[in-house]
Amino acid sequence: MRWSDQVAVVTGGSRGIGRATALLLARRGCAVCVNHMVHAESAEAVVSDIKADGGRAIAFLADIGDEKAVSSMIERVTTDFIPVTILINNAGNSQSATLDTYDQQQFERMRRVNVDGMKLAQRCRARRFMPPQRLRSLS
C-alpha cells in the first residue's frame, strides 16, 4: 500500500488520540480530513501542523451523528482529494450520570455520536462510490 494514495477521515481529529492519529497518517503520506464538532481552533492547528510538514489536510466541522453533515464532509473530502480510503472513527461523546440522574437527551446524543456516527460515516462513503471500493475502517 502506498500511503500517498490514501485519504483518511479522522472523526474527532482535533484533539487527543484523534489529533495524534491525524498527524501520524499525514507523516506517512495520507491526505487527512480533520473532523471536529466544537474545537475549530484545535482542528485548524492540526491542519497547519500537517501542512507545515508538507502534507495535505483540511478541517471540516460536522456533527458525526447527522447524516447530512457526514455526507457533506465525505463529498468535500472527495472533491478536494480522492475517495476516502481510511476512516478513523474516533469521535466520541460521554456524559457522567447515575440511573437516577441521567438525561435522556444527553444519552441519545451520546448514542448518535458513538454508535450511529460510525455507521453513518461508512454508509455515506459507500453510497458515494458504487461499486464499493476498499475501505479501511478503525473504531
112: containing domain: 3-138
Asked if residue 88 lies in contact with residue 7, where contact means CB atoms within 8 angstroms, the answer is no
Of 77, 96, 55, the closest CA to residue 11 belongs to 77
Write the pLDDT tens digit of every residue in 25-70: 999 999 999 999 999 999 999 999 999 999 999 999 999 989 999 9
Q: What is the pTM of this model?
A: 0.84
Write the pLDDT tens digit of every residue in 61-95: 999 989 999 999 999 999 999 888 898 998 887 77
Distance CA 57, CA 40 (A): 14
Question: Could you give the number of structural domains in the chain?
Answer: 1
Looking up residue 75, the CATH number of its domain turns out to be: 3.40.50.720
